[in-house]
Amino acid sequence: MKKFGMNFDWHCSNIKVCKSCKDENLSRYFASVTNSLSVHNIFNPSFYCDDNVKLFAFRAIIDGEDCLTSFISIEDKIGRSVKKISAEFYQEFGAPRLIDPKVARLNDEYYVTFNSGWVPEGNDIFIMKIYPTMGHPKRLIYKGRQQQERNWAFFFEKNEIYALYWINPLKIVKLKYESGKNWEMEDYYCGKTPDPDFPTDLTIGTQLFYVNGQYRFVAHQKRYLHNKKIYLGRFCTFDFERKKVIPGKYWLSHSMQSILGSDIKHNSNLFSCTYFSGLQASNGSIKLGYGINDTGFGFSAHNLNEL
């Protein structure tokens, strides 16, 4: 990226631009959801769609307000409803806010994960069932967690719930038991040393989606320019049986222009980001949802071998 004066180990030829692969159907449907609300500054869409149900989670600013709010849209054959992740949850858990909602499929049930953002004393991470019935948030308890947490990627294997906790070295945690308002997690697999051939500082972005015997997701790579963060995506395959994550060929960005950031800054530590928040896969095809510099959104569609 030397053309932008950035000292990265990326080259422009290794960046795949998602803007040129826009998914018109997802974009049009999501616009119908958000146009029915009095909101602006819509970003970070996560989703699951089939013939029976359409689920979206996203962040936006309600017109006339200054703060960001998280939303969940649910549409099935009965109709559509859009819910805010309520302030009642904040009070119930003593959290200052609930952000980064992402849709996860666990067996035949659908959940959203979210967290309480960055707080000096350490934050919390949550999971909540949203379909076919709406549940209550469960705080995730894990004794080996870091003080500040953002994303765990959940999956369902042989009647057990797991989460991809860390990519390199690989760490997988497993649901130990449910207790009231909590899910307690325990170690299932912990890699001993980082893989020296694997990209450094790669963190979990989207939730996992299972197809053709493997899980797919987009990770984020975080770099810095003048002490400000820059996020790009990296498509990855997670092989649960082999306990291995395989990165794709390209870094992913909405556009080359978006890497230069935007004038609006909700996060003073951010220079720019294409923040990948949603993914759905089928045979040979991948659909992605993402936020653009915390101010806009995009949906793209790709052939699997393109990534």
Count other C-beta atoms under 10 Å from residue 295's C-beta.
18
- Mean pLDDT value across residues 271-279: 96
CA dihedral of 187, 191, 194, 196, whole degrees rounded to 10: -150
Read off the CATH number of the domain in which 115 is found. 2.115.10.20
Q: Which of 92-96, 135-139, 282-286, 291-295 reaches the highest mean pLDDT?
A: 291-295
Q: What's the pLDDT band for 2 if we cut at 50, 70, 90? A: very low
Q: Using the predicted structure, report yes or no on whether residue 11 has a pLDDT greater than 60.
A: no
What local confidence, expressed as pLDDT, does residue 12 receive?
58
What local confidence, expressed as pLDDT, does residue 5 receive?
44
Pairwise CA distance, residues 237 & 307, whole Å: 11
Domain count, the chain: 1
Q: Angle at CA 243, nearest 5°, toward 242 and 244? A: 90
Tokens of 295: 């101010």
- Mean pLDDT value across residues 266-274: 88
Pairwise CA distance, residues 87 & 96, whole Å: 9
Pairwise CA distance, residues 249 & 234, whole Å: 8
Q: Using the predicted structure, report yes or no on whether residue 6 has a pLDDT greater than 50.
A: no
What local confidence, expressed as pLDDT, does residue 3 receive?
43
What local confidence, expressed as pLDDT, does residue 91 receive?
67
What local confidence, expressed as pLDDT, does residue 10 receive?
52
DSSP letters, 126-174, are EEEEEESS----EEEE-TT--SS----EEEEETTEEEEEEETTTTEEEE
What local confidence, expressed as pLDDT, does residue 4 receive?
46
What local confidence, expressed as pLDDT, does residue 13 receive?
62
Q: Using the predicted structure, report yes or no on whether residue 92 has a pLDDT greater than 90.
A: no
- What digits encode the pLDDT tens for the residues 148-207? 998 999 999 999 999 999 999 999 999 999 988 899 999 999 998 888 888 777 899 999
- What digits encode the pLDDT tens for the residues 108-145? 999 999 998 888 888 999 999 999 999 888 999 999 99
* Residue 54 domain boundaries: 2-306
Q: Tell me which of 82-86, 92-96, 180-184 is least confident.
A: 92-96
- What digits encode the pLDDT tens for the residues 20-50? 999 999 999 999 999 999 999 999 999 999 9
- Whole-model pTM: value is 0.92
